[in-house]
């Protein structure tokens, strides 16, 4: 509970000030906690950044596993995208998209963060790729397509929206989601 309170406060600070301008003082003030409370959970700001990605990753994996349990893999993929886009829309208020975009840049010069992000992305791609293979086996998606490459396209749809939304609040997530679902269905038109 307290750990998540700290991560949520850090997200707010990172969204407002960026990683480098945010101090531990900013985080414990935002969380309404003492410095000691923060340091009993995290040794550094970098540790908080990594912990936030691990937490989000676990939450997302729960969604992926639920999607795989469905009987119709293509519908599960569409619902998964819908859920992720809806979550992105809601998370925009927290500044989560802005934080993620900043993290991608930071990861290029921060090897531990890069490893965390690569691990998270790999796990997402593996989960989506499994859904793609299931849809291919059921004849819903063209079997000649490489499932891992299709999963990268699906991930790009999400991350592309996250980037666009962080740069432009006017992006219509619902219209984007409809276009993304139509694109996903187009993978089956050559079956």
pLDDT digits (tens, 9 = 90+) for 164-174: 988 888 999 89
Residue 94 confidence (pLDDT): 64
Asked, for residue 17, whether it belongs to a domain, the answer is no
Asked, for residue 28, whether it belongs to a domain, the answer is no
Asked, for residue 151, whether it belongs to a domain, the answer is yes
Residue 15 confidence (pLDDT): 86
Question: The domain containing residue 156 runs over which residues?
Answer: 45-186
Residue 50 belongs to domain with CATH number: 1.10.357.10
Residue 87 confidence (pLDDT): 78
Residue 190 confidence (pLDDT): 57
Residue 31 confidence (pLDDT): 95
With a cut of 50, list the residues of the chain below it in pLDDT: 191
Buried b (16+ CB within 10 A) or exposed e, 85-119: bebbbebbeebbbbbbbbbeebbeebeebeebbee
Residue 60 confidence (pLDDT): 67
Asked, for residue 69, whether it belongs to a domain, the answer is yes
């Amino acid at each position: 509970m307290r750990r998540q309170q700290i991560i949520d406060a850090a997200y707010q600070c990172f969204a407002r000030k960026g990683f480098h301008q945010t101090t531990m003082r900013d985080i414990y003030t935002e969380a309404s906690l003492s410095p000691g409370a923060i340091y009993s959970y995290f040794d550094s700001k970098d540790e908080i950044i990594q912990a936030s990605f691990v937490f989000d990753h676990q939450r997302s994996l729960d969604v992926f596993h639920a999607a795989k349990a469905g009987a119709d893999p293509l519908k599960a993929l569409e619902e998964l995208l819908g859920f992720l886009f809806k979550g992105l829309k809601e998370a925009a208020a927290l500044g989560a998209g802005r934080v993620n975009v900043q993290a991608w840049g930071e990861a290029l010069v921060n090897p531990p963060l890069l490893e965390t992000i690569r691990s998270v992305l790999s796990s997402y791609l593996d989960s989506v790729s499994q859904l793609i293979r299931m849809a291919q086996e059921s004849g819903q998606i063209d079997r000649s397509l490489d499932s891992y490459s299709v999963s990268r396209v699906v991930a790009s749809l999400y991350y592309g929206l996250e980037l666009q939304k962080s740069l432009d609040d006017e992006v219509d997530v619902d219209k984007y989601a409809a276009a993304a679902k139509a694109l996903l269905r187009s993978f089956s038109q050559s079956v």
